[in-house]
Chains A and B, each alone.
Chain A
Amino acid sequence: MHDIFETLIEALSSSFIHKAIFVGILVAISSSLLGIFLVLRKFSFIGDGLAHVSFGTIALALFLGITPIYVSVPLVILSSFLVLKLNEKADVHGDAAIGLVSSFSVALGYIIASSTSGFTVNLSNYLFGDILLVSNVDVYLSLILSIIVILTVLYFYHDFFALTYDEDFAQVLGLKTKRLNYILSILTSLTVVLGIRVVGTMLISSLIIFPTVISLQIARSFKKTIIYSLIISIISIVLGILLAIILNTPPGATIVVINGIIFVFVYLFKVLRSR
């Protein structure tokens, strides 16, 4: 027990853990703010799909020797537009469009990765993320991206709410629903790229889905769902980072497992309360 505290105190006094927690909280806020709109519009897997796309873009960036985030942000945003366009113009269903774009990107990324020797190790860091390795540049970029996401969601909060509840009615109100869908896609792309550092491309969709689904179990209003999912998201990321240090487990996976445990507890609480 004494050892655990010592490890924790030692870790807490180092700057890498401050950076990790700071970036973690930013990602928690961005992903849970967006989560409600994606989950309720049955677009949960757009996060997963775009994360697959980002795998391809990271492989490309490593191949070209460029910092991945500079390649990932524009390409992931473009891919999210492609998903929307396929859905609108080519009559490809949303989930199929996501599948097309994401599997194509993974295939392309894998071809690039396998044709170049030596960076498979690097690439695996991005598959499961490692928040304990964030650099100062990561911190600044995360800060900028998450401020963009947070302010945009707050600015368009009621528009996104109307769009999520009833797209037809939103249109009758005079809201530009198509434009709002594109804005949501950009924000999702930014959040996915942001989250890769924390939990990696394989697990990023969990940050978008889990907190919202957990708070849907207990919240009775839209606003409360967002507030609860913010709290759950921040708790799970901070707790995940600390537990990962104590148990020497991978932080990304630990965060997701904690989300899973919270879900079980909240679900049981809901069932017991309704009896």
Chain B
Amino acid sequence: MNNILEVENLNIAYGHDDVVKDVSFTVNKGDYVNIIGPNGAGKTTLVKAILGLINDYQGAITIKAETVGYLPQKNNNNDKMFPASVKEIVSLGLLGNHKRPKLFTANDHKRIEEVLKKLGIYHLRYRRIGELSGGEQQRVLLARAIVNNPQLLILDEPTSALDPHFKQEFYQFLNRLNQEDGITILHITHDTGNKESGYNKILYINRTILYYGLKENYLDIEEHHHA
């Protein structure tokens, strides 16, 4: 099969509270899945389990991608004085591919610069990350997420810190990653009505899956509901 991710009977509970309940779905290579649902619906918990950040769960998660990229909601490190340059932060994305002592090659540096240029932040490469605006930091983190050419890219509501102008650019950029580079995307978002976004599937979750399938079918159901 052409699966890149399989989640089977996933259950995650905090104490007696079932945050994710009986969740099963399969993502094919090349899919662009928008994960939607109300606040507290377990979207971030689900994604964290897929990423290996939560290990205390029942069920099975199988990832067939060799490389995974991850873009969190916002920069986890909000220390403005943190002495890391943009280039150093982006280089972290390559660590997963390297054996220790994890020395970077000339090719790695070329790849980092290529991604920085692609995202329009090459001129910021020697700046401290803490000095940049929220939107600029998000671009740096996106660069970090894609620098290792991931087969699967997971994004957790990354657009909330972005200005509207860059939001459009951001969606177009994701479309290109999906359509031109063939990267499979899992994208938690509130922004389903965005016309720029080129997703093909929707996973609607409220602790348990309420809908998983093609975008068109979901929109039909939604229209039917509103009619």
Which residues from chain A sit less than 8 Å from chain B, CB to CB? Answer: 36, 40, 154-159, 161-162, 165-169, 171-175, 215-216, 219-225
Give bound CA distance, A195 to B226, whole Å: 71
Give bound CA distance, A169 to B128, whole Å: 19
Give bound CA distance, A215 to B81, whole Å: 11
Determine if B77 is an interface residue (Cβ-Cβ < 8 Å). Answer: yes
Give bound CA distance, A156 to B144, whole Å: 20
Task: Assess whether A220 is in contact with B89, with CB atoms less than 8 Å apart.
Answer: no
Shortest beta-carbon distance, B140 to chain A, in Å?
A: 12
Instruction: Kindly identify which residue among B92, B101, B102 contacts A169, using a CB–CB cutoff of 8 Å.
Output: B92
Instruction: Kindly identify which residue among B53, B75, B81, B102 contacts A171, using a CB–CB cutoff of 8 Å.
Output: B53
Give bound CA distance, A219 to B85, whole Å: 10
Task: Assess whether B89 is in contact with A216, with CB atoms less than 8 Å apart.
Answer: no
Nearest chain B residue, comparing its CB with the CB of A157: B101
Shortest beta-carbon distance, A143 to chain B, in Å?
A: 22
Residues in A with CB closer than 8 Å to B220 are none
Nearest chain B residue, comparing its CB with the CB of A154: B101
Task: Assess whether A172 is in contact with B52, with CB atoms less than 8 Å apart.
Answer: yes
Determine if B59 is an interface residue (Cβ-Cβ < 8 Å). Answer: no
Shortest beta-carbon distance, A203 to chain B, in Å?
A: 25
Residues in B with CB closer than 8 Å to A225 are 83
Instruction: Kindly identify which residue among B51, B82, B100, B126 contacts A165, using a CB–CB cutoff of 8 Å.
Output: B82
Residues in A with CB closer than 8 Å to B52 are 171-172, 174
Task: Assess whether A173 is in contact with B92, with CB atoms less than 8 Å apart.
Answer: yes
Given contacts A154-B101, A158-B102, contact A220 B83 (CB under 8 A): yes
Nearest chain A residue, comparing its CB with the CB of B126: A220
Residues in A with CB closer than 8 Å to B79 are 40
Task: Assess whether A220 is in contact with B101, with CB atoms less than 8 Å apart.
Answer: no
Instruction: Kindly identify which residue among A36, A162, A168, A221 contacts B95, using a CB–CB cutoff of 8 Å.
Output: A162
Interface size class of B (residues with CB under 8 A): 20 to 34
For this complex, 18 residue pairs linking A to B, each with C-beta atoms less than 8 Å apart, are A157-B102, A158-B95, A158-B98, A158-B102, A159-B95, A161-B84, A165-B89, A166-B75, A168-B72, A169-B76, A169-B92, A169-B144, A172-B51, A172-B68, A215-B83, A221-B84, A222-B85, A222-B88
Q: Encode B82-108 as 1/0 by CB contact (under 8 A) with A.
A: 111101110011011010111000000
Nearest chain B residue, comparing its CB with the CB of A220: B128
Task: Assess whether B83 is in contact with A221, with CB atoms less than 8 Å apart.
Answer: yes
Residues in A with CB closer than 8 Å to B96 are 173-174
Shortest beta-carbon distance, B90 to chain A, in Å?
A: 12
Residues in B with CB closer than 8 Å to A155 are 100-101
Task: Assess whether A175 is in contact with B88, with CB atoms less than 8 Å apart.
Answer: no
Q: Which of B72, B79, B92, B98 has the most CB of A within 10 A?
A: B92
Q: Which of B68, B81, B84, B102 has the most CB of A within 10 A?
A: B84
Given contacts A172-B53, A223-B88, contact A216 B95 (CB under 8 A): no
Given contacts A156-B100, A171-B52, A221-B126, contact A162 B92 (CB under 8 A): yes
Instruction: Kindly identify which residue among A162, A168, A224 contacts B83, using a CB–CB cutoff of 8 Å.
Output: A224
Give bound CA distance, A219 to B88, whole Å: 13
Give bound CA distance, A40 to B70, whole Å: 23
Determine if B64 is an interface residue (Cβ-Cβ < 8 Å). Answer: no
Shortest beta-carbon distance, A139 to chain B, in Å?
A: 28
Instruction: Kindly identify which residue among A156, A167, A220 contacts B85, using a CB–CB cutoff of 8 Å.
Output: A220
Give bound CA distance, A169 to B126, whole Å: 21
Determine if B127 is an interface residue (Cβ-Cβ < 8 Å). Answer: yes
Q: Given A162-B95, A169-B92, A220-B126, list of 8 further CB < 8 A pairs?
A: A161-B92, A165-B84, A168-B76, A169-B72, A173-B95, A175-B95, A220-B83, A221-B84
Shortest beta-carbon distance, B225 to chain A, in Å?
A: 37
Q: What are the 8 tightest A-B residue pairs by CB atom distance, in nearest-first order?
A: A221-B85, A173-B96, A225-B83, A158-B102, A166-B76, A172-B70, A155-B101, A222-B84
Give bound CA distance, A154 to B68, whole Å: 26
Residues in A with CB closer than 8 Å to B51 are 171-172
